[in-house]
Amino acid sequence: MKKIVFLGAADKSHVLLALGRLWTSLGQKVLLVDSTMGQAVQGYLPPAFTGSAVQEFEGMDAAYGFVTEAQLKRALVQAGTEGTYDVLLLDTDHTQMVTGRDLPGYHKRVWCWDGKRLSLQKNEELLLRLCLHEAEAPLSFL
């Protein structure tokens, strides 16, 4: 599975949904995961009945409300979809979901910034929380 992580204080939900639709149109099975504190992707999805969910949306599966990889994995096992995806698009600001040690396992790492000074300060705080210094080698970001 191709794994792409998106980091940064800017809202990325619309971009992730558009990317998911593009991969879906190419015949790829896509899992989009919003593991951010704001969980903005919920604003684009039909209402769900729980605080966390995996649901189909425009040909892809969208997940939100999960703080750890173990929580997400349990939900995918329960849904019967674990291991069936071609592409994972992960938006997170939770260090329980990904840390500096985990980042080399992603095919692409995308750092997002909206040009605002406050976002730049939040991005710096996120970098420190993710413990990027724990990565074994320097990491490149798009």
- Tens of pLDDT, residue by residue over 44-63, are 888 876 666 888 999 999 99
Going from N- to C-terminal start, the domains of the chain cover 2-134
How far, in Å, are 6, 25, 45, 107 from residue 41 at the CA level?
13, 20, 7, 22
- Tens of pLDDT, residue by residue over 62-86, are 999 899 999 999 999 988 999 999 9
Mean pLDDT, the chain, whole residue set: 89
Q: List the structure tokens of 101.
A: 């040690």
**Is domain 2-134 annotated with CATH 3.40.50.300?**
yes
Is the model's pLDDT at 89 over the cut of 90?
yes
74-90 burial, b at 16+ Cβ within 10 Å, e below that, comes to ebbeeeebeeebebbbb
Q: List the structure tokens of 83.
A: 């291991």
What confidence score (pLDDT) does residue 50 get? 64
What confidence score (pLDDT) does residue 51 get? 64
Is the model's pLDDT at 127 over the cut of 90?
no
- Least Cα distance to 142 among 41, 5, 15 occurs for 5
Note the pTM of the prediction, 2 decimals: 0.90
Is residue 11 very low, low, confident or very high in pLDDT (cuts 50, 70, 90)? confident
